[in-house]
Structure 1
Amino acid sequence: MEAPQSPTTTAAEGKLCEDFAVPSYVEEVKRRMAEFAERHGAAGRRVVLITSGGTKVPLESRTVRFLDNFSSGRRGASSAEYFLDSGYAVIFLHRHRSLYPYTRLYSGINLLDALRSEPEGGRVVVDESALPRITPVLKRYQAVREAGLLLPVEFSTLSEYLHLLKAAAQALSSIGPKAMFYLAAAVSDFYIPASEMPEHKIQSSNGPLQISMKMVPKMLSPLVKNWAPQAFVISFKLETDPSILLERARRALETYKHQVVVANVLDTRRGYVVVVTRDDQHELVLTDEEEQKQVEIEEKIVSNLSASHGQFMGQQR
C-alpha cells in the first residue's frame, strides 16, 4: 500500500518526487543559494530569483530526441541586468546555453572576429567597433562579479528546473518579503513520466510516432503557499490570442494567490506588456522614440516591479 502524503505535502510536490528524479547536486546548489540570500538579506539588499530560458522534455531515457520550449532567455537575461542596476542581488536560474546577462548583447557576434593578435608581445586586442560599448559593459559586469551580486545556476531538462526551483524557493524563504521570484522561464506544460519512457532511441522504422504526455505539476501553488510564503512572486503569461490574455492572467492570480502576472502577446512582447495585479493593471509600452534609442521593455518592467516590491515589503512590516 502506498504511504499517504503528509498534510503539508501538496499534489505538485508528491508528483515531483514520484516522476522526477532529484539531481545529485541539488542540495549543494540549495546551500549556495541560501548563503547568497542570507548574506545579501543581512546587508539590507533585496534578492530576486530570475528563471530564464526554456525547458527540455526527453522522449527517451537515453535521450536522443526531446521536446523544447520557445525561449532564447532574452527577457530573463536583460531583466537580470536591470535588477542589478536597481540594487538587487540576482540568482539567475537559466537554461544551458540560453542568453546570459551582459554577454547577451554580443550573442550574434563571432568572438574571434572581434579579436586581433598583435605580432609583437603576443597580446590579444579587442576591436571595439565589432563589440559595441564593450568597455562600459565589461566594467559593469566586473563590478557585479566582484561584489558577488550575481549567482548563476544552470538547468537543462524540465526535471532539473523543477527541483532547482523548489530548492531556490526554500533557500530564499529565510529572507521573507525581501525575496522576489521573477518566473520568466518558458516551462513545458507536458512531459512523459520516466516509467513510461522508452529506454533506447525511438526507431523511425516502427512507423508514425504517437505520444501520450501528462500535465506537468504546477509549482506556483506550493511556492506561494509552502516554500516561500512571504515572498513577492511574479509569473508571466504569454499568449498568441490577445482576446484571452487578460482573462487568463486574472485567472492565474485567482488560482495561485501570488502578486503579479506580466501578460504579453507573442507578436508584440518586445514592445508591449500588461502588468496585472489583483487590484489593477498597467500597460507598459515602448514609444517610437524609445525604440529608436534602443530602450528595452524589460527596463520598464523592472522599474514597475521594483516599486511594487517596495510597497509590498512596507505592507509586511
Structure 2
Amino acid sequence: MEQPTPSPTPAAAESQYFSSNPPPANLSNHLTLARAFVERHAAEGRRVALVTSGGTTVPLEEQTVRFIDNFSAGTRGATSAEYFLSQGYAVIYLHRQFSLLPYSRHYSHDKRSFLDFMAEDPATGTVVVDAVHQAKMLRVLRQYSEVKRANTLLILSFVSITDYLWELREVAKLMRPLGANALFYLAAAVSDFFVPKDRMVEHKIQSAEEFSQSQSTASSSSNGPSKPPPAARTQGKSLIIDLEPVPKFLKQLVDGWAPDAMIVSFKLETDPAMLVRKAVYALRRYHHHLVIGNLLSTRKWEVVFVSAEEEEKWIRVPRSRRARSASGIESLVGKAAWRASESERQSSADGGVGEPSVEIESLIVPEIASMHGRLIERALARGA
C-alpha cells in the first residue's frame, strides 16, 4: 500500500513558500525604514507594536485584473494603532493599501464627502473647517501632530497575501532584538487560500468563450510537462478557481521570527456557538499569548480574551455607550459567552444616558498593554 506523503515541517513549508512566491517590489525600502525606526525606539527603551490591518487580496493573474478580497476596511487596526500610541508605544502600522489610517480614519470612513467638513471664509477667500467640526478636528490634529513630532508611527502598506507575509516575516525579524518589548497585534484579515505563483495565468482571464478556449490552449502549451495546470480557468461559460491553503506561519512567528515578543491574534467567526471553542483551538495551536475572539455581528461591542495565563475574559461596551453599527445585531451580544455569569451579561446596561460612544479598542488596548507589562516583568526577572 502506498504510504501517504508526510506533511512538510514548518521550516520546510516556510522555505518552499518564500522561495516560490517573490517578495513585493518595495520590500527593501520598507525594511530600510523599519530598521531605522526599530533601532531608534529600541535605543530609547520604548515598546514597539506591529499592528497589521485591512484585508489581503488573492490575485488570479500575474498581470492582475481580477482578485479575491474580503470586506475588511481596517477599522480595528487603525483605531487600535491610535490607542497603542496613546499608551506610549511606537507603532509600525502594516496595512492594506488604501485601507483606513490612524487619525485620518475619523474622516475618510464617513458617508459624507471630506469636503463636507470644510467651508469657505468669505472674508479671506480661504478654506476653513466648518464650525460644527472644529473641536473634534482640532483634537485629532493635535494627536496626529504629536505623533509626527515624536516620530512614533511608521506606516507601511501591502496589497496581496504574499506581500503581507513577506512584510510580516521580515519586519518581525527586525523586531527580534527588542525581545519582550516587541508586541504583534495581528488584526489584518488574512486570506486562508491563495493561487501559487507557478499556477497563476499571465494575462487577464477571458470571459468570452472563444477567447477563453484559445487562452487555455496557449496556457497548456506553455506550461510544459512539469508545470501544474493553472488555478483559474474557464470551462464552458463557468470560471473554475482552484485555490490552495496558505501555509500557517503564525506558529513560526513564535518559534523563529520573534520568539520573545508578545503575540496577539484575532479569531473572527459568524456562529456564536463556535467562537470561544475556535479561539481556544487557535491559542493551543499557535501558542500566542492572547487570542481575541469576536463575532462578525457584534465585533464593535464585545470581544473575548482567551489566554493561557488568565481566565476567559469578556470585554463589552456598555449598551448606552455603543456606537451605531449598520451590520451589528445587538440582540446577539452575550450569546457567544460559554461561561459568562448573568451579572456579566447584564453589564452592558451600565453607563450614563447620553454619554459619548465608546470605541471597544479603547478598552482592548489598555488591557493588552497591562498584559504586555507583566510579560516584560517576567522576562526581566528571568534575565536577572
TM-score (norm: length of structure 2): 0.77
* Structure showing greater relative contact order (alpha-carbon pairs closer than 8 Å, 6 or more residues apart): 1
Match of 1:203 among 181, 195, 206: 206
Other-structure match for 2:286: 256
Judge conservation of contact 1:128–1:134 (CA < 8 Å) in 2: no
For residue 62 of structure 1, what is the aligned residue in structure 2?
Answer: 63
- State the Cα distance separating 1:161 from its structure 2 match: 0.7
**How far 1:25 sits from its partner (Å)?**
2.5
Tell me how far apart the structure 2 counterparts of residues 269 and 250 of structure 1 sit (CA, whole Å). 18
Q: Which runs of 5+ in 1 are unaligned?
A: 1-6
CA contact (8 A) 1:52 1:75 kept: yes
The reply on whether 1:300 has 2:363 as its aligned counterpart is yes
RMSD: 1.8
User: Amino acid of the residue matched to residue 82 of structure 2?
Assistant: E
The 5-angstrom pairing of residues 72-221 of structure 1 reads 72-107=73-108, 108=110, 109-118=112-121, 121-130=124-133, 133-206=136-209, 207-221=237-251
1:102 and 1:141 in contact (8 A); partners too: yes
Deviation track 1:233-262 (CA, whole Å, cap 9, x = no partner) reads: 000000011111111111111111120000
Q: Secondary structure at the match of 1:93?
A: strand
> Counterpart in 1 of 2:253?
223
When normalised by structure 1's length, the TM-score is 0.93
> AA paired with 1:116?
A
SS in 1 for 2:165: helix
Alpha-carbon distance between aligned partners in 2 of 1:159 and 1:131, rounded to the nearest angstrom:
42
Separation (CA, whole Å) in 2 of partners of 1:133 and 1:105: 9
Deviation at 1:11, TM superposition (A): 3.1
Secondary structure of the residue aligned to 1:236 is strand
1:260–1:277 contact (8 Å) kept in structure 2 = yes
Relative distance call for 1:8 and 1:29 in structure 2 (3 A) is: farther
* 1:113-149 Cα distance to aligned partner (Å, 9 max, x none): 3223445554321214256600011011001011101
Q: Contact conserved, 1:50 with 1:92, CA < 8 A, in 2?
A: yes
The 10-residue stretch of structure 1 (284-293 or 149-158) with the greater mean CA deviation from structure 2: 284-293
CA drift of 1:301 comes to 0.7
CA distance in 1 between counterparts of 2:10 and 2:269 reads 31
Give the corresponding residue for 1:286.
Answer: 317
Q: String of CA shifts for 1:253-274, please: whole Å, max 9, x gaps.
A: 1111120000011111110100
Does the residue aligned with 2:297 lie in a helix, a strand or coil?
helix
In structure 2, the partner of 1:28 is 29
Aligned-residue sequence identity (percent) comes to: 45
CA contact (8 A) 1:106 1:131 kept: no
1:244 paired residue number: 274
Q: Contact conserved, 1:55 with 1:156, CA < 8 A, in 2?
A: yes
Give the Cα–Cα distance (whole angstroms) in 2 for the partners of residues 43 and 94 of structure 1: 25
Indicate the residue corresponding to 2:4 in structure 1: none
C-alpha distance in 1, partners of 2:274/2:39? Answer: 40
